[in-house]
Structure 1
Amino acid sequence: MAPALDRIRVGSAPDSWGVWFPDDPRQVPWERFLDEVAEAGYSWIELGPYGYLPTDPARLADELAERDLKVSAGTVFTGLHRGPAVWESTWEHVGRVAALTRAMGARHLVVIPSFWRDDRTAEILEPPELTAEQWAHLTKGMERLGHEVKESYGLDIVVHPHADTHIDTEAHVERFLDSTDSGLVNLCLDTGHYAYCGGDSVKLIETYGERIGYLHLKQVDPRVLAEVVADGVPFGPAVQRGVMCEPPAGVPDLEPVLVAAQRLGVELFAIVEQDMYPCEPDRPLPIAIRTRRFLRSCGA
């Protein structure tokens, strides 16, 4: 019998319904997402791209209450390695998302670094490696963000290592963690992105357990990943090739990840995010139901 993972709070996100943008005709309407995520057996969700779900707090609260759903986090995108010049525009974006996140009773803000190559065209926008000065801007900027978000909104930021960003590989993630204050900045470990970039999620949890503040659960298809790496495919087209697959078909094995997280002795959200943009509207719900059943078999 699987161990009881009673400290792990499982949820899902718009991403698992093929939602990457606030408004896109290829995405399911937000009402359908809410209906289906509840039908699949989840009680926690993320807000997804700001503007996809209603941004009026009273209306969103009513829609969630109708379906017995709660919000675990909001998500923001940042380019803080570019230095103080981007702070004002970053804070404007963060403030909108953080205010709605707080209004929904959530306590976390997932922070995703900007991409170094275009997610669709593969155009190289910036070098994939940061200079020492850019690393300093990134780490100090994230610490400032963590402080300001906590002071202004009472939320904790969790930084999300992500393919095709400057926080991706094991070396980059460890450098980032070693260079930031755990009182201000912790990690959203996305098991799929970390595997995509060659990292070992269980090892990271066991080594930097005190810095793991949040989990995203997804898996990578190793065969597709090998093709993607060999062909130099950017993340968006890689998703269209099916690089992120339905568990338990891929890597990493999620049960050892969840067991390692349970051993940390703290309550953690574990939010399913199976990247599927774009996808047919009838595809997500059956996958979500099977994934929830699989996670229950792991004890979560």
Structure 2
Amino acid sequence: MSIKDLKVGCQTFTWEMLGKNWNGGPDDLLEAIAEGGYTGIEITDRMIGRYADRPDDFAASLKKHGLKLVSFAIGSKSGFTLRQEIGNDLKATQRWIDFAAGFSGALVSIGSATVVSEGPREAKFEIAAEFYNRAGELGKVSGVDIAVHPSSHHNTLLFDRADYDRIFSLIDKTLVGWVPDTGHILRGHEDILDTLRTYQDRIRYLHLKDVDADGKWAMLGKGVCDTLAVIDIVAAAPRFNGWLVLEEESDTAAADPAAAVKTNRETMRRYGA
């Protein structure tokens, strides 16, 4: 798959990170993302707003804005590392699987496991993997692909290469895919290209963003990410669905999310996508 054949979507966390400073709703996101030149969206459980129980209405709004749902991204206060919360987490996951099932090709992306309680760190991997695998089984029944999205945020269980190796040794790759995130990988370890090659067969789509040499978020193309080298590896992945999802967390985006994501879309055009 050549770079010109790739599809470019936008992740809504750029607005979610504003917290109480964001007073808009999901239609505001769709309008900004469409105006930014994107053709797809990955929306989170925190940003779906009034459409949470109205997938048909959300589908109509997506169509109005010329957008496709790439993925529905979810998290949990449990961090997916509390065994006593697995049942509740699976119930919530099924809810969003049912939502995503109405959108052709849409995945459910499950956030990074986080350490939210005391106890042996190794045991947290086993709990997280049990949850991810069981979520994958739910997705298989419903015809919705499930993928894990590791991050580098506070308390993450999935930060450095050793963490990636451990969780992937426990996750059934026939049930659970991977959404690599260039920024989060670079903040945790420098061997990003080797990591992508090693687990290439798990890749479903890509989160693309940048960081500087100190690991601080940077606008796309302004940091240390070798974007074209990353895309070459991802585009050759056997189960890659063709979507590059841009996500921006820099101070520039915090000042003006819509302008920042539009700039990133223009950057991708210069790369050829």
TM-score, structure 2 length as denominator?
0.87
Larger CA deviation: 36-45 vs 101-110: 101-110
Matched to 2:228, the amino acid is E
Q: CA deviation at 1:199?
A: 4.1
Matched residues in 2 for 1:19 and 1:261: separation?
27
Q: CA deviation at 1:155?
A: 1.1
* Cα pair distance change 1:183/1:279, threshold 3 Å: same
Matched residues in 1 for 2:21 and 2:132: separation?
34
Matched residues in 2 for 1:28 and 1:245: separation?
24
Contact 2:125 2:166 in 1 (8 A): no
Matched to 2:222, the amino acid is A
Contact 1:112 1:162 in 2 (8 A): yes
* Cα pair distance change 1:199/1:27, threshold 3 Å: farther
1:267 matched to 2:241? The reply is: yes
The match for 2:157 is 166
* Cα pair distance change 1:128/1:47, threshold 3 Å: farther
**Which residue, out of 25, 49, 57, partners 2:45?**
49
Q: CA deviation at 1:276?
A: 5.0
The match for 1:245 is 218
Percent sequence identity over aligned pairs: 22
Task: Name structure 1 gaps, 5 residues minimum.
Answer: 117-124, 226-242
Contact 1:158 1:214 in 2 (8 A): no
The match for 1:26 is 22
Matched residues in 2 for 1:212 and 1:199: separation?
19
Task: Name structure 2 gaps, 5 residues minimum.
Answer: none
The match for 1:298 is 271
Q: CA deviation at 1:211?
A: 1.3
Matched residues in 1 for 2:4 and 2:126: separation?
38
Matched residues in 2 for 1:41 and 1:159: separation?
27
Matched residues in 1 for 2:23 and 2:191: separation?
32
* Cα pair distance change 1:58/1:186, threshold 3 Å: closer
Structure 1 ranges of 4+ moved more than 6 A: none
**Which residue, out of 279, 288, 298, partners 2:254?**
279
Aligned residues: 265
Matched residues in 2 for 1:97 and 1:245: separation?
31
The match for 2:56 is 58
The match for 2:228 is 255
1:178 matched to 2:152? The reply is: no
1:141 matched to 2:131? The reply is: yes
Q: CA deviation at 1:126?
A: 3.5
Q: CA deviation at 1:127?
A: 5.5
RMSD of the TM alignment (CA)?
2.5
Matched residues in 1 for 2:257 and 2:74: separation?
24
Q: CA deviation at 1:172?
A: 0.4
Matched residues in 1 for 2:87 and 2:120: separation?
24
Q: CA deviation at 1:279?
A: 2.7
**Which residue, out of 189, 209, 216, partners 2:200?**
209
Contact 2:16 2:47 in 1 (8 A): no
